[in-house]
Structure 1
């Protein structure tokens, strides 16, 4: 079903992508390309990204709770996730907040595993490469890293000191890239028996 509640939330997530990306390039906010975005732009983009990320959890929950799962929703949901992550990483590369190699690892893995899952589904073996715990951990670390790198500015915690969001974000995105490779190896290993038959 294309127009049930969970699927509409997935469409909303896709529609939020140009909004959070556009915040960095809006003439009044951004000035000339190459300058560092203002704190207000960072906060707005981060907030929109968080809302988009929350719809990812919410649409899955509602699909199960309302019993509105559909093959179209199952197709669209990961597409929306990958578009959101890829868009964020491209913006972060543009503003020199994350390295191109790290972004290529993460985006490349998403494309490769999506293709693998589609192929395995065609072979009737999609469950063999279903979402594993390492994939969930990778996603959690990756999303937190992106949020911190979008926000960028340090947070003054008063007596607790200064929370260096950019430093923590840099560490987490490298950890996410490592987990990305690890999870890709896990899924490839799971698919290997079927691959050897071809």
Structure 2
């Protein structure tokens, strides 16, 4: 198997995860900004690998498998870091519930797509605009929360929390969109022509 440039970018994104975790916890001034920069770099490679794969016609089975795995790992690891470092009380509960919704939806939709592909109906659950909007809101929220998780400066943490809750609502909405599209197959109805 020959690994092409888009797949190398995806592998690089996966390799950035332990770097982000390490930087997130290291006790040096600006570690939060550095962790956010690593996260943004990973997010940019997510966009870039897809763009290059389509533009240069460099798609591969391994890349198609690895790209969504890398995306979900990046989001899940970041959410786990933020939940663990979040203060307790109601804000902590809201953060944990929102993170559970987002991770739960990612697992569920991945399983749904895999099952739909098995029965030859993968196109039924293709990515919709609401899913892209959810991803954009989620990425912005995560960057704000990483930057602000341990900052003594401008406090935008509550903005990040609000954006993450909005992303959680969009997550439920997009998950229901996928479920609705797959519902006839889940009920065992024959595919429509």
The equivalent of 1:13 in structure 2 is 13
Is 2:25 the partner of 1:25? yes
Deviation of residue 154 (structure 1)? 7.2
Equivalent position of 2:111 in the other structure: 115
| Matches of 1:54 and 1:24, distance apart in 2 | 19
Task: Find the aligned partners of 2:10 and 2:107 in 1 and give their Cα distance.
Answer: 19
1:140-159 Cα shifts (integer Å, max 9, x gaps): 0000000000000476xxxx
Q: 1:124 to 1:2 in 2, by over 3 A?
A: farther
The normalised TM-score by structure 2 is 0.89
Task: Choose the corresponding residue for 2:176, options 185, 188, 196.
Answer: 185
Cα distance between partner residues in 1 of 2:8 and 2:129: 27
1:54 aligns with 2:44: yes
RMSD of aligned alpha carbons: 1.6
Match of 2:53 among 63, 70, 74: 63
**Which residue does 2:67 correspond to in 1?**
77
Which residue is equivalent to 1:132?
Answer: 128
Q: Measure how far apart 1:19 and its partner are.
A: 0.3
Offset, 1:168: 1.2
- In structure 2, what is the Cα distance between the partners aligned to 1:121 and 1:139? 22
Total equivalences in the alignment: 181
CA distance in 1, matches of 2:7, 2:156: 33
Secondary structure, aligned partner of 1:58: helix
Equivalent in 61, 85, 89 of residue 95 of structure 1: 85
* Structure 2 unmatched runs, 5+: none
CA distance in 1: counterparts of 2:171 and 2:144, whole angstroms: 18
CA distance in 2, matches of 1:167, 1:2: 45
Q: Could you tell me whether the CA contact under 8 Å between 2:25 and 2:31 is conserved in 1?
A: no
- In the TM superposition, structure 1's runs of 4+ consecutive aligned residues that sit over 3 Å from their partners are none
- Of the candidates 147, 165, 190, which is equivalent to residue 143 of structure 2? 147
**2-structure distance, mates of 1:133, 1:64:** 18
Q: Which moved more, 1:66-75 or 1:52-61?
A: 66-75
Task: Give the direction of change, closer, same or farther, for the CA distance of 1:55–1:21 in structure 2 (3 Å limit).
Answer: same
Counterpart Cα distance in 1 of 2:22 and 2:55: 34
Taking a change above 3 Å as real, the CA distance of residues 39 and 169 of structure 1, as seen in their structure-2 partners, is: farther
